[in-house]
Chains A and B, each alone.
Chain A
Amino acid sequence: KKQQTTINEFFPRD
């Protein structure tokens, strides 16, 4: 089963 990642894991908050 594949796990969904989120965009926050890749792009830091400015």
Chain B
Amino acid sequence: MLEGKFEESSLMKKVVDAIKDSVKLCNFNCTEHGVTVQAVDDSRVLLISLLIGEASFEEYRCDRNITLGIDLESFNKIIKNGNSSDFLTLIAEDSPDNVLIIFEDKKKDRVSEYSLKLMDLDSDFLQIDDMEFDATITMPSSEFAKITRDLKTLSESLQIIVTKENVKFSSDGDFGTGNVVLKGFVDMDKPDESIKIDMARPINLTFGAKYIADIVKGTSLSESVTIKLADKSPALFEYKLPSGFLRFYLAPKFDE
């Protein structure tokens, strides 16, 4: 049996918001360590890897591994009904046909209970070994979201170029070009505002802008985002959770 209670429903709301536009159906795999999701978008360009660690829950119990096949659009309709500050509890039997979603306000004078039908989904698990990256950038997630939105207006591709001194985001479109250059810096008072660039080898990669625009829907999960890049390899975009992470692996574009 699964019983997981969040101190606030806001975490689950943000997670669903972050992934629902990339994937529609996915398995939530529940183990004693927490909840994981691995899913790939329909075009097979973007892979999502989510871990909501046991410590993200106020109370968590999962005796046996349980798979919840969830339609995220339906789940989102229900999860939106809770107030962000409500307790959120997920309950499922060992071989469940549905999952119970319970919201309780903190004064305990209102309890809302919903049941979501589960689906039997094919799981197609990809093996992601520890990758070696040539460059790692950590920056404020809101700044990365703005750069993505701004440059996406010019082109369907977004180029990321990392040199020793800086990182350049660049787009080249029909009516013009644009780029944003960031240098590393440390903000002692607000560490989350810092920009950290670690580079072992220079990087020049191009990605589909629409996929990055989907990735930045994770912005509300974390003050900062970490971008890991390697030549001719998928990029990793990571938003840290209180215990766990939401990772996006994005396949690059190459010259024909």
**Interfacial residues, chain A to chain B (CB-CB below 8 A):** 1-14
- A14 neighbours in B (Cβ, 8 Å): 125-127
Complex Cα distance, B47 from A10, in Å, reads 11
Alpha-carbon distance between A2 and B158 when the two chains are bound, in angstroms:
11
**What's the least CB distance linking A11 to chain B, in Å?**
4
| B234 nearest in chain A by CB position | A10
**B224-256 residues at the A interface, CB under 8 angstroms:** 233-234, 249, 251-256
Find out whether the CB atom of A12 lies under 8 angstroms from the CB atom of B234: no
In the assembly, what is the distance between CA of A4 and CA of B254, in Å? 7
Q: A1-B256, A2-B157, A2-B256 are in contact. Are A7 and B127 (CB under 8 A)?
A: no
Number of A-B contacts (CB under 8 A): 56
Q: What residues on A are CB-neighbors of B206 within 8 Å?
A: 2
Q: Smallest CB–CB gap between B97 and chain A, Å?
A: 27
Which of B37-45, B63-71, B78-86, B194-202 binds A? B37-45
How many chain B residues touch A (CB < 8 A): the figure is 23
Q: Give the chain B neighbours of A2 by CB distance below 8 A.
A: 157, 206, 253-256
- Cβ–Cβ contact B47 & A7, under 8 A: yes
Q: Are the C-beta atoms of B124 and A13 separated by less than 8 Å?
A: yes
Contact A4 B45 (CB under 8 A): yes
Collect the chain B residues with CB atoms within 8 Å of residue A13's CB: 124-127
| 17 A-B residue pairings within 8 Å (CB atoms) | A2-B255, A3-B253, A3-B254, A4-B43, A4-B208, A5-B251, A5-B253, A5-B254, A6-B251, A7-B40, A7-B46, A7-B47, A8-B44, A9-B251, A10-B234, A10-B249, A12-B127
Residues of A within 8 A of B255 (CB): 2-3
Residue among B40, B126, B249 facing the most chain A CB atoms (10 A cut-off) = B126
Kindly provide the distance from the CB of B22 to the nearest chain A CB, expressed in whole angstroms.
12
Give Cα A2 to B157, complex, Å: 9
Tell me the nearest residue of chain B to A6, going by C-beta. Answer: B44
**Does B188 belong to the interface (CB within 8 Å)?**
no
A8 touches B253 (CB 8 A): no
Q: Which residues of A sit under 8 angstroms from B157, Cβ to Cβ?
A: 2
With the chains together, A9 CA to B44 CA distance in Å? 10
Chain B 111-143 per-residue mask, 1 if CB under 8 angstroms from chain A, else 0: 000000000000011111000000000000000
